[in-house]
Chains A and B, each alone.
Chain A
Amino acid sequence: MTTAFNIVVCGSLVPDPLQTLEPIQGPTGPALKNEMMLPSVLDPWAGHALFEAANLAKHHPGTKVYLVSLGPKAKLQQLMMTIAQKVPFEFVCLDGPASGFLDSREVAKALASAIEKIPGLDKTKLLVFGGYSSASRDAGTTMQMIAEQLGISDVFLGADELKVQPDGSFRIMERIEGGQYQISSCAGAPIVIGWATGNLPEPPNNPQVGMANMRTIMPALQKAQPAALKTDGIQYASVQLPQQQRQTKIVKDTPVEEIAKEIVAWIRS
């Protein structure tokens, strides 16, 4: 049985992880130093969700993929120069902040509202994808709240695989503790999935795909409305980067056994 889906992927930008991220107190709350100036990438978890969506679309003709992004539209435009080349999709843009310090409830509300407004969206075929986690700040709550707002009760988090069964039902593998998977069956759409990493490699950039996508991306950016996000629902007592100690040393041609021994010794110490 071949099923065509309407897949909506929620995802936005985060600062390139190689950049120096330094929390500061901005006029409206916590922020990252020079955040607007830092180069951005698509949040890696959202990226996995997008690639899974495109892969599903490839195998289910007639499927439509939408990418709904909340972020500063000028930065989203820059991001699209890369992301639009990866896979075909239609773009829905919400002009607003993409800061990791936003209230996830407000973000979910804005995204759910934008999904509701997608013209011709068939909710009986709706698959809402997003990242289970985020590279900017990991509250891990946004996707559930989107599901709630859209009235979708089948929600799967930390998924690495979705298989459409011959009868049209879904088989979903979710990560659980101890490196194990929980395998669930679901009768079908609508569902919400918060993706972990999935199993697909990142597609190479292809400007030809990008040129096709740009036909919808530029109008979407031009007509993007400011997203009304309340900021008074959450207060931060303090913010700091996760404590980490990076001890990098560059060695070449070291046997694997030697490396393993060194790691074991470090763990034991």
Chain B
Amino acid sequence: MSNINTEKTALMSTLPGDDVRQIMWRFADRYEHQMVVQATRSVARGMVARLVADKQRHTHDWTPQKQEMLKAFDEAGVTAAFMEPDQGGYITGPKNLVLALVAFELAWVDAGAATASLANNLALEPIHEKGTPEQIHHYMSGCVPPKPGEKREILRGSFALTEPLPYVGVDAGMLSGKIRIAEWKEGKEPIIQVEKRGRFITNMGYATFVTAAVDTDDPRIKSSCMVILEKGDQGIYDPGAPTLKLVHQLSCTHDPIFNLKIPASRIIGGYTIKDGVIIPNYNHNEVIEAVFRRTRVTVAMMTTAKLLSAIEPVIRYQRTRYRGGEAAKPGTPRYDLGIQQKEDAQHRLLDVWATGEASASLGFEAARLFDEFDPLEKQKDAMFLKDGIKGPRAQMKVFAEPRKRALEYIEIMGKPEAQRDAKRVQDLENDFLTMYVVKESLADVFCPACKLWNTGYGATMMREAVSLMGGYGITEDCPGFLTQKWSDAQLEATYEGPECVQRRQMSLTMVSDVFLAQFKNWIKDLRALDAKKPGMGAGTLASAMELWLWSIEYLQNAKDANGKTLYAGQRQGVTFPMADALAWLLGSRQLILDTLELERKGPENSVLAEGLTGFVNFYSDLSYLQAARAAGEVGKVCAELVYGYQAKGATCALPNAAIKTFAELRSKLDGSLAGARLAKDRAAEAVTQVMIPEALDYPL
């Protein structure tokens, strides 16, 4: 009897190492990024792991041992990774990818440590994105660790948006924190009184400055804004009590109280005065939007790291499960494979692994996207400032023409390269507003998608990882701190905007014509890829994307059995599941693209020559099985939404043309799953054969 799975014989020999990751995540030629990865890793798997092993997570207080972790970040260059060389940093250009890598490395061991590191950057982000040149220089340079012989205290910051109930924080639109004019002498700078209470504010126990969101409580201040508060300002700067959180205990979280007088020059981004009224250059929403669209990606990477960090401990547990027992003699399958003799154990581990890989691919793509988007946004901001373009309506007007050009660009790029008008492509690529529209349409989807899916579904799959360790999984002795990682994941799914906020954003951005035009191009690309390489699940994914695309167009135009519009702002029963489904598709597609990158660039690295085929085979199989999983989710969501709002029995009695089309697409999708489970079997075989280290490289 022939066995179709005998076609591929090269198996993955070892777990994927740095060489593989650098290619897949596109930093093989970024040496500074590779160094930051190594430096961060040594802190994570050294000091951070020891803190966890020494039960430092068992207290809410900020202990001297936890404080040492900050020193380790400073010494290893982690703190300065965010800054430009002229501010004391050492990496030039946008930092989204490098910060995502830092988050990934720290969260591989403990996400609280990652939060402690990144919260300082979060405090700086409003200044970095919208601050005046003086503000940027002062605070960015101040947060760089002093050089030997330099006498100054390092600045450490907190970002204070979230407030005690009722308004809470992200996307609430309202703020309890207020500002009013305390003093305004003729010819002098106005002094502002700030009242703000914070809730769940990271780094607050030791922060020396705070970037706080506040609303106006004075007719002489036109709008809300963000302000910089400093320890030492006149008034109350009370870090408050530690927040009694059950997770991320290696970050310092407090509920602070501020009642301070500050000069108006601390308004982030500056202000103008018109008719005796202070007009902040940016309201708090404008600042926050610029901040969170970036920092959410790093949060997403935390849960991703945990999923991938679980693979090695789970494999080791599975293989050694029966060793020491009488029936498991060395050389027997029971001894060598342990629980991995069972298909279920292999397949469930693969589901965790594929989720981790797809979420890594998605998150790092989002980070890279922002690295491309940052300079375009800066250019756009500078132009708007120079030309005095303010407010959504005025900005939309400016983008009317670039939007048309963006659609034209996407249409051209959808053609085979030989058929493209190269000169026109060049012209369009040289037009920064056109490129801004293209990149923004992607950033506005990829950022919430990775935050939503990596953390939300990631948390679910962390539970699966814990379950694969049996009872061991929920003990403190579990290698890899899996239970802690599982519970931490719930916070990652929540802060910087919980899942509903991400779904809401996606429900608006994923129906943009510019995004959907690119989405259609991707389907064509996947079809072409499937014709050349049928073993990666590209055809399955293309079918799932076609079904999603058809469904979203249908839902936007159709009404339910009661005559109500289906795809509408308040109809979250329709919009939100479609956002979830899209996140599945994006992760799956990105994993395919990263696997192709490995196949393409791998031969350039002689170290990989020996094992490249095995890695490419494994990742192709993983891509296939992830495409099948994504297709399953999309099929389920779309079917429920398309059929579910019809009157009972209506589709059976009188199937309309639209429903018929849907049924055909669904059927095509089901048929495209052929081979997916064979891919899973092949990947499972690799999981049973792959060589793993003798022991984990960080302590229990």
Which residues of A are at the interface with B, using a C-beta cutoff of 8 A? 16, 18-20, 33-34, 36-39, 72-75, 78, 81-82, 84-85, 204-208, 210-211, 214, 218, 250
The 8 Å CB contact of B35, one of A18, A20, A75, A84, is A84
A73 to B, closest residue via Cβ: B606
Q: A36-B607, A72-B606 are in contact. Are A205 and B90 (CB under 8 A)?
A: no
- B147 CB to nearest A CB, Å: 10
Q: Is the CB of B39 within 8 A of A85?
A: yes
Q: A205-B42, A206-B39, A207-B77 are in contact. Are A34 and B606 (CB under 8 A)?
A: no
A218 to B, closest residue via Cβ: B31
Q: Is the CB of B14 within 8 A of A34?
A: yes
Q: Is the CB of A81 within 8 A of B38?
A: yes
Q: Is the CB of A18 within 8 A of B695?
A: yes
Can you show 15 pairs from A to B with CB atoms below 8 A apart? A20-B691, A20-B694, A72-B606, A75-B607, A78-B607, A81-B34, A81-B35, A204-B42, A204-B43, A204-B76, A205-B77, A207-B39, A210-B39, A211-B32, A214-B35
The answer for the CA separation of A29 and B81 in the assembled complex, in Å, is 45
Q: Is the CB of A206 within 8 A of B76?
A: yes
Q: Is the CB of A250 within 8 A of B700?
A: yes
Residues of chain B within 8 A (CB-CB) of A205 are 35, 38-39, 42-43, 76-77
B18 contacts the other chain (CB 8 A) = yes
- B123 CB to nearest A CB, Å: 22
Q: Is the CB of A37 within 8 A of B77?
A: no
Residues of chain B within 8 A (CB-CB) of A16 are 693, 697
**Which residue of B19, B38, B609, B695 has the most chain A CB atoms within 10 A of its CB atom?**
B38
Residues of chain A within 8 A (CB-CB) of B661 are none
Residues of chain A within 8 A (CB-CB) of B605 are 74
B134 contacts the other chain (CB 8 A) = no
- B558 CB to nearest A CB, Å: 53
Residues of chain A within 8 A (CB-CB) of B17 are 37, 39
- A157 CB to nearest B CB, Å: 30
A248 to B, closest residue via Cβ: B695
Residues of chain B within 8 A (CB-CB) of A72 are 606-607
Q: Is the CB of B42 within 8 A of A78?
A: no
Q: Is the CB of B606 within 8 A of A74?
A: yes
Which residues between 372 and 404 of chain B lie within 8 Å of chain A, taking CB atoms? Answer: none
Residues of chain A within 8 A (CB-CB) of B692 are 20
Q: Is the CB of B693 within 8 A of A211?
A: no
Residues of chain A within 8 A (CB-CB) of B77 are 85, 205-208
- A62 CB to nearest B CB, Å: 19
**Which residue of A75, A205, A211 has the most chain B CB atoms within 10 A of its CB atom?**
A205
B72 contacts the other chain (CB 8 A) = yes
Residues of chain A within 8 A (CB-CB) of B535 are none
The answer for the CA separation of A74 and B22 in the assembled complex, in Å, is 13
Residues of chain A within 8 A (CB-CB) of B19 are 74, 78
**Which residue of A37, A38, A74 has the most chain B CB atoms within 10 A of its CB atom?**
A37
The answer for the CA separation of A250 and B38 in the assembled complex, in Å, is 29
Residues of chain B within 8 A (CB-CB) of A210 are 31-32, 35, 39
Q: Is the CB of B90 within 8 A of A211?
A: yes
A211 to B, closest residue via Cβ: B90
B20 to A, closest residue via Cβ: A37
B477 contacts the other chain (CB 8 A) = yes
Residues of chain B within 8 A (CB-CB) of A207 are 32, 35-36, 39, 76-77, 81, 90
Closest 8 pairs between A and B when the two form their complex, measured CB to CB: A205-B39, A207-B77, A81-B34, A207-B35, A210-B35, A82-B38, A74-B607, A18-B693
Which residues of B are at the interface with A, using a C-beta cutoff of 8 A? 13-14, 17-19, 31-32, 34-39, 42-43, 72, 75-77, 80-81, 90, 477, 605-611, 691-697, 700
**Which residue of A73, A75, A206, A214 has the most chain B CB atoms within 10 A of its CB atom?**
A206
- B452 CB to nearest A CB, Å: 32
The answer for the CA separation of A19 and B13 in the assembled complex, in Å, is 13
Q: Is the CB of B700 within 8 A of A37?
A: no
Q: Is the CB of B72 within 8 A of A204?
A: yes
The answer for the CA separation of A63 and B685 in the assembled complex, in Å, is 55
- B481 CB to nearest A CB, Å: 14
**Which residue of A74, A81, A82, A250 has the most chain B CB atoms within 10 A of its CB atom?**
A81
Q: Is the CB of B75 within 8 A of A206?
A: yes
Q: Is the CB of A19 within 8 A of B607?
A: no
The answer for the CA separation of A82 and B606 in the assembled complex, in Å, is 19
Q: Is the CB of A18 within 8 A of B697?
A: yes
Q: A20-B691, A204-B76, A206-B76 are in contact. Are A81 and B477 (CB under 8 A)?
A: no
A81 to B, closest residue via Cβ: B34
Q: Is the CB of A37 within 8 A of B35?
A: no
A252 to B, closest residue via Cβ: B477
The 8 Å CB contact of B31, one of A19, A34, A81, is A81
- A83 CB to nearest B CB, Å: 9
Residues of chain A within 8 A (CB-CB) of B36 are 207
B604 to A, closest residue via Cβ: A74
Q: Is the CB of B35 within 8 A of A36?
A: no
Residues of chain B within 8 A (CB-CB) of A206 are 39, 75-77
Q: Is the CB of A37 within 8 A of B610?
A: yes
The answer for the CA separation of A205 and B35 in the assembled complex, in Å, is 8
B605 to A, closest residue via Cβ: A74
Q: Is the CB of B90 within 8 A of A208?
A: yes
B88 to A, closest residue via Cβ: A208
Q: Is the CB of B694 within 8 A of A18?
A: yes
- B74 CB to nearest A CB, Å: 10
**Given A39-B18, A81-B37, A205-B43, 20 more contacts at CB 8 Å?**
A18-B696, A20-B692, A34-B691, A36-B607, A36-B611, A37-B608, A37-B611, A38-B14, A39-B17, A81-B35, A204-B42, A206-B75, A206-B76, A207-B36, A207-B90, A208-B77, A210-B31, A211-B31, A214-B35, A218-B31
The answer for the CA separation of A131 and B36 in the assembled complex, in Å, is 28
**Which residue of A73, A74, A75 has the most chain B CB atoms within 10 A of its CB atom?**
A74
The 8 Å CB contact of B610, one of A34, A204, A208, is A34
A38 to B, closest residue via Cβ: B14
A83 to B, closest residue via Cβ: B38
- B450 CB to nearest A CB, Å: 26
The answer for the CA separation of A117 and B49 in the assembled complex, in Å, is 44
Q: Is the CB of A19 within 8 A of B39?
A: no
Residues of chain B within 8 A (CB-CB) of A38 are 14
The answer for the CA separation of A250 and B255 in the assembled complex, in Å, is 39
The answer for the CA separation of A73 and B604 in the assembled complex, in Å, is 13
Q: A18-B695, A34-B611 are in contact. Are A85 and B18 (CB under 8 A)?
A: no
Residues of chain A within 8 A (CB-CB) of B37 are 81
The answer for the CA separation of A19 and B690 in the assembled complex, in Å, is 12
The answer for the CA separation of A204 and B18 in the assembled complex, in Å, is 20
Residues of chain A within 8 A (CB-CB) of B606 are 72-74
- A247 CB to nearest B CB, Å: 11
Q: Is the CB of A19 within 8 A of B609?
A: no
Q: A34-B14, A81-B34, A211-B32 are in contact. Are A250 and B75 (CB under 8 A)?
A: no
The answer for the CA separation of A75 and B44 in the assembled complex, in Å, is 23
The 8 Å CB contact of B80, one of A85, A208, A214, is A208
Residues of chain B within 8 A (CB-CB) of A78 are 18-19, 34, 607
Q: A81-B31, A85-B39, A204-B42 are in contact. Are A36 and B610 (CB under 8 A)?
A: yes
Residues of chain A within 8 A (CB-CB) of B477 are 250
- A228 CB to nearest B CB, Å: 18
**Which residue of B19, B31, B32 has the most chain A CB atoms within 10 A of its CB atom?**
B31
- A267 CB to nearest B CB, Å: 24
The answer for the CA separation of A205 and B692 in the assembled complex, in Å, is 26
The 8 Å CB contact of B691, one of A33, A36, A82, A204, is A33
The answer for the CA separation of A228 and B324 in the assembled complex, in Å, is 48
- B128 CB to nearest A CB, Å: 20
B80 to A, closest residue via Cβ: A208
The answer for the CA separation of A124 and B609 in the assembled complex, in Å, is 43
The answer for the CA separation of A207 and B145 in the assembled complex, in Å, is 13
- A214 CB to nearest B CB, Å: 6
Q: A85-B39, A205-B39, A206-B39 are in contact. Are A37 and B13 (CB under 8 A)?
A: yes
Q: Is the CB of B693 within 8 A of A19?
A: yes
Residues of chain B within 8 A (CB-CB) of A33 are 691
The answer for the CA separation of A72 and B609 in the assembled complex, in Å, is 12
Residues of chain B within 8 A (CB-CB) of A34 are 13-14, 610-611, 691
